[in-house]
Amino acid sequence: MEFLSLQPFVPSGNNFSASRRFFSELGFIVSWDAGDYVGFHKDGCRFILQKMDLPAFAEQFMITVGVPDADAFWQEVTDKQLPEKFGIRISRPADQPYGREVNIIDLAGVCWHFVQS
Listed by start position, the domains of the chain span: 9-116
CA distance 80 to 52: 26
pLDDT at residue 117 above 90?
no
For domain 9-116, give the fold: 2,3-Dihydroxybiphenyl 1,2-Dioxygenase; domain 1 (3.10.180)
b/e per residue 75-107 (b: at least 16 CB within 10 A): eebeeeebeeebebebeebeeeeeebbbbbbbb
Mean predicted lDDT score pLDDT of the chain: 97
* pTM reported for the whole predicted model: 0.95
Give the model confidence (pLDDT) of 1-60 as tens digits: 899 899 999 999 999 999 999 999 999 999 999 999 999 999 999 999 999 999 999 999
How far lies 80's CA from each of 22, 83, 86, in Å? 11, 9, 11
Averaged pLDDT for residues 63-86: 98
